[in-house]
């Protein structure tokens, strides 16, 4: 990295009206890339402030997706709130929101109103089903999209049980695709001088990222590659990414594994006998050194089946410092996932923990709008501003 290199998005001003995950995730990445991200919360705060370990009044979940941001709390329904938002929007480069499509216009701060105040504004709207379709008013969280797009059904057919995915893929996909679209719009604005409105549906973003979908929509599931197998070794469980038929060939030719099947066996019985033989071989690998040596000899891709609690010990994550510690605001530190972006001529990364609700109200209104203490106090007296449930 060049000496004196800065953040790629330094100087970019972002208003983040979004809640929970899809929008806040995009905002977190913008902050990690150097943008000044102001989280605009309702008086009751983001719902995710209640999820996870609470330290110094900040939950673990909220901290993970809102680290590095500043916070102002505005009651968007209060008289005068629209004027305050428009004033802030005039100073912003980007606005992110993930309400249902009718909410922002109903509050008097829809895209047309915001763009009239600031034609250069880029607005990213993330919703479950898009802004103008037959289901645009449906509420959506990640599990709803997982169900609608066949992911839960696919899991049930492959694993034998109907379960949601163990992470919010639909949200993070929408956040990442939203980030790509938003940064594309920033580049385009440099040519045209104009902002625009981005309509990002969680349905579209997740569908685009489904690399297994074509097997189903082309009725070609019989051609699907076999899923990877998991085996219990003497050192611990592993996943091996290889067709079992190829694994069997490697073990019989390279390790002298004896075929327990006979010609008169039914195919299912034969497969079961061979899998039992492989299981016994794997169980005989007593140490991780033994496992690594066997996998290396077969030139197979494999991985330990780790717990999330042990990820700081994963060699690559430790080397790349992918989990770091930030100030927990209680005299200690708390872990947080680092930005994945690594640049040769720029810096990126988490720049601190998440804010308390309304924590930066005064400095934002002074810095962005030049308001005096008296003017800020007047907005609080009108019920427009709150901080941790009380007026600033």
* Gap between the terminal Cα atoms of the chain: 42
The CATH architecture of the domain made up of 13-213+321-386 is 3-Layer(aba) Sandwich (3.40)
pLDDT digits (tens, 9 = 90+) for 214-240: 999 999 988 888 789 999 999 999 999
pLDDT reading at 388 higher than 90? no
Q: Which residue has the tokens 């898009």?
A: 130
pLDDT for res 224: 84
Q: How far is the C-alpha of 145 from the C-alpha of 138, rounded, in Å?
A: 11
Query: Could you tell me if 367 and 13 are in contact, meaning their C-beta atoms sit under 8 angstroms apart?
Result: no
Q: How far is the C-alpha of 266 from the C-alpha of 272, rounded, in Å?
A: 10
How is the chain split into domains, by residue range? 13-213+321-386, 225-310
pLDDT reading at 272 higher than 70? yes
Q: Confidence band (pLDDT; 50, 70, 90) for 291?
A: very high
Give backbone dihedrals phi and psi of 326, rounded to 5 degrees, phi first: -120, 160
Q: Confidence band (pLDDT; 50, 70, 90) for 390?
A: low
Non-local (6+) Cβ contacts of 188 within 8 A are: 196
- C-alpha distance from residue 348 to each of 81, 104, 166, 247, 341 (Å): 34, 32, 28, 42, 7
- Using DSSP, state whether 324 is helix, strand or coil: strand
Nearest 5°: the CA angle 323, 200, 77 is 90
Percentage of the residues of the chain whose pLDDT score is greater than 70: 98
Residues with catalytic function: 171
pLDDT reading at 4 higher than 80? no
pLDDT for res 158: 86
What length does the chain have?
Answer: 392
Over range 132-148, report the average pLDDT. 94
Query: Could you tell me if 39 and 27 are in contact, meaning their C-beta atoms sit under 8 angstroms apart?
Result: yes
Q: How far is the C-alpha of 213 from the C-alpha of 383, rounded, in Å?
A: 50
Q: Where are the alpha helices (DSSP H) in the chain?
A: 22-32, 60-66, 81-91, 103-106, 111-117, 142-148, 151-159, 169-192, 202-208, 213-217, 244-254, 267-283, 288-298, 315-319, 361-369, 373-381
Q: Tokens representing 292?
A: 């690594």
pLDDT reading at 378 higher than 60? yes
pLDDT for res 57: 93
Give backbone dihedrals phi and psi of 41, rounded to 5 degrees, phi first: -110, 155
Q: How far is the C-alpha of 178 from the C-alpha of 180, rounded, in Å?
A: 5
pLDDT for res 389: 54
pLDDT reading at 40 higher than 70? yes
Q: Tokens representing 12?
A: 């970019």
Query: Could you tell me if 76 and 107 are in contact, meaning their C-beta atoms sit under 8 angstroms apart?
Result: yes
pTM of the model: 0.91
pLDDT for res 226: 79
Mean pLDDT of the chain: 94
CA 381 to chain centroid: 37
pLDDT digits (tens, 9 = 90+) for 142-156: 999 999 999 999 999
Q: Tokens representing 28?
A: 């977190």
Question: Read out DSSP for 31-91?
Answer: HHTT-EEEEEE-TT--GGGGSS-EETTEEHHHHHHHTT-EEEEE-TTSTTHHHHHHHHHHH
Q: How far is the C-alpha of 16 from the C-alpha of 124, rounded, in Å?
A: 10
């Amino acid at each position: 990295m060049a000496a004196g290199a800065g953040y790629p998005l330094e100087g970019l001003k972002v208003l983040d009206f979004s809640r929970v995950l899809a929008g806040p995730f995009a905002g977190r990445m913008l902050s990690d890339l150097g943008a000044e991200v102001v989280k605009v919360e309702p008086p009751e705060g983001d719902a995710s402030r209640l999820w996870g370990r609470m330290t110094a009044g900040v939950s673990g979940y909220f901290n993970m997706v809102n680290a590095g941001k500043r916070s102002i709390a505005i009651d968007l329904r209060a008289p005068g709130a629209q004027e305050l938002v428009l004033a802030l929007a005039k100073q912003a480069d980007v606005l992110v929101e993930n309400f249902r499509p009718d909410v922002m216009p109903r509050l008097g701060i829809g895209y047309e109103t915001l763009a009239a105040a600031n034609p250069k504004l880029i607005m990213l709207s993330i919703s479950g089903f898009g802004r103008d379709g037959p289901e645009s008013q449906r509420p959506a969280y990640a599990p709803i999209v997982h169900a609608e797009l066949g992911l839960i059904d696919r899991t049930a057919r492959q694993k034998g049980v109907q379960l949601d995915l163990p992470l919010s893929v639909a949200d993070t996909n929408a956040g990442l695709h939203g980030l790509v679209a938003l940064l594309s719009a920033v580049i385009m604005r440099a040519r045209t001088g104009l902002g625009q409105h981005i309509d990002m549906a969680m349905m579209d973003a997740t569908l685009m990222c489904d690399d297994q979908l074509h097997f189903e929509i082309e009725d070609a599931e019989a051609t699907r590659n076999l899923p990877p197998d998991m085996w219990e070794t003497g050192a611990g469980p592993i996943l091996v990414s290889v067709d079992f038929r190829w694994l069997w060939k490697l073990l019989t030719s390279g390790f002298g594994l004896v075929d327990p099947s006979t010609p008169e066996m039914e195919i299912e019985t034969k497969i079961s006998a061979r899998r039992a033989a492989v299981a016994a071989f794997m169980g005989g690998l007593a140490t991780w050194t033994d496992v690594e040596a066997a996998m290396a000899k077969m030139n197979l891709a494999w991985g330990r089946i780790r717990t999330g609690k042990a990820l700081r010990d994963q060699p690559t994550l430790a080397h790349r410092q992918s989990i770091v510690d930030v100030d927990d605001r209680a005299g200690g530190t708390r872990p947080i996932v680092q930005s994945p972006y690594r640049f040769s001529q720029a810096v990126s990364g988490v720049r601190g923990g998440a804010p308390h609700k309304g924590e930066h109200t005064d400095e934002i209104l002074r810095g962005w709008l030049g308001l005096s203490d008296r003017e800020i106090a007047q907005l609080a007296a009108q019920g427009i501003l709150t901080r941790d449930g009380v007026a600033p």
